[in-house]
Amino acid sequence: ALEKKVIKSKLGEKVGLPCCHEIPSSDSLHNYRVYWQKNTMEVVLAYAEGKEISKHKRYENRTEMNDRNFTLWISPVEIPDSGPYQCVVQHLKSSQNPSVMCDETVTLFVGADFSEPNITAEVTAVSCESTEMVVRCSSYGGFPKPEMSGALNNESVVWNVSWVPESSLSPYNVTGKLQLNVTKDVSFTCSVESNGLTKSTSLLLKKANDCVLPPMLLSYNVITASSIIIIIFLLAITLAARYLPRHVCSRYCKPQDSVDEAVKECTKTPMSSKVTSETSAV
């Protein structure tokens, strides 16, 4: 059977796959045999003479069929449900020779929306001229595999993109990484496109205003300044030790004449000694 119809659905929704035949009001489901099968080999659901005769284990409690137009309902739909489904309807005019009323294929495509992109910027180095940073953009929970794009002030940039998981039948988490050298404030936009739907987020990347010296240069300057302070301190102590005693002496010592008189006074014979000598003479 040729694929003629495509049905699109979102992950978790309820979807109906139409069949190619509808029972006339004058007829009954008991006169029909209906097969819904996937990929022409996997029987999803089968009815005969008005009763369900087969159902695939993976579709248990998720499928039902309309008993008039044979529409196959799947809820909640999952990403592995994507693919071609074939509806085969037979009329049981006689059990030995049932006639095929229709045989048609419809393709189900299950998609999932990605989350709004999240942008983060990590500064790795700062200089007077520029700011180096690593920019990351991430989005999750979408299907099919997306395309990620970026723009810096409306100019396209190329991401280093990774996907998790790398499976073709499960939702994707996508992360893009980019290294930038920002010389001024710029607007950055990250976009994720999947299944015809695009989601975008923008972030203003700011250049650091402070001019920060490299760590090695900063350490050298600190050592130099400390050495100069120590040298000045030592010179001050040396000068103080040399000139301070003279200054104190000039301020507090007696003049030279007074010193000479004091010496002469000290060398005079004491009065008591003179009296003792006179007494001895008598």
Across the range 50-68, mean pLDDT stands at 93
The tokens for 58 are 């993976």
Residues 85 and 132 in one domain: no
91 with 123, same domain: the answer is no
Check residue 232 and give its pLDDT: 86
pLDDT at residue 248 greater than cutoff 90: no
Which among 172, 147, 142 has a CA at the least distance from the CA of 159? 147
Task: Find tokens 């393709």 and name the residue.
Answer: 107
Whether 125 and 75 map to the same domain: the answer is no
Domain of residue 39, CATH code: 2.60.40.10
Looking at the predicted structure, is the pLDDT value of residue 157 above 50?
A: yes
CA distance 9 to 111: 6
Task: Among 2-6, 88-92, 206-210, 256-260, name the one with the lowest average pLDDT.
Answer: 256-260
Most confident of 93-97, 137-141, 214-218: 137-141
Q: Tell whether 256 is covered by a domain.
A: no
Give backbone dihedrals phi and psi of 137, rounded to 5 degrees, phi first: -130, 130
Rounded distance, CA 29 to CA 210, Å?
Answer: 80
Residue 154 — pLDDT band, cuts 50, 70, 90? confident
What local confidence, expressed as pLDDT, does residue 236 receive?
A: 78
Which of 79-88, 170-179, 198-207, 232-241 has the weakest average pLDDT? 232-241
What Cα–Cα distance (Å) separates residue 188 from each residue in 136, 180, 191, 203, 266?
11, 11, 10, 5, 99
* Residue 72 in domain: yes
- Are 101 and 133 in the same domain? no
Residues 19 and 91 occupy one common structural domain:
yes
Domain boundary at 64, 89, 110, which? 110
Are residues 74 and 129 part of one domain?
Answer: no
How high is the mean pLDDT of the chain? 83
65 with 123, same domain: the answer is: no
What are 232's strand-pairing partners? none
Residue 260 lies in a domain: no
Does residue 160 sit in the same domain as residue 197?
yes
**48: phi then psi, degrees, rounded to nearest 5:** -150, 130
Same domain, residue pair 59 and 95: yes
- Which domain, by its residues, includes 172? 115-205
| 191 in the same domain as 141 | yes
Q: How confident is the model at residue 225 (pLDDT cuts 50, 70, 90)?
A: confident
- For residue 61, is it left (φ>0), alpha (ψ between -120 and 50) or beta? left
Burial code (b: 16+ CB inside 10 Å, e: under 16) for 129-147 equals eebebebbbbbbebbbebe
* Same domain, yes or no: 120 and 172: yes
Model confidence at 281: pLDDT above 60: no
Asked if residue 27 belongs to a domain, the reply is: yes
Q: Is 126 a domain residue?
A: yes
Cα separation values, 232 from 20, 222, 224, Å: 101, 16, 13
Give the closest residue to 136 by CA, choosing from 151, 121, 148, 116.
121
Q: Tell me the per-residue pLDDT of 104-117, one tens digit each, with 9 for 90 and over.
A: 999 999 999 999 99
Amino acid at 176: G
Helix, strand, coil % in the chain, rounded to nearest 5: 25, 45, 30
Last residue of a domain, one of 62, 95, 110: 110
Establish if 64 belongs to a structural domain.
yes
Assess if residue 254 is contained within a domain. no
| Residue 226 domain flag | no
Is it the case that residue 191 has pLDDT exceeding 70? Answer: yes
Query: CA–CA separation, 123 vs 130, rounded Å?
Result: 11
CA-based end-to-end distance of the chain = 169
Number of domains in the chain: 2
Torsion sign, CA atoms 6, 7, 12, 16? negative
Domain boundary pick from 205, 234, 268:
205
Q: Are 62 and 43 within one domain?
A: yes
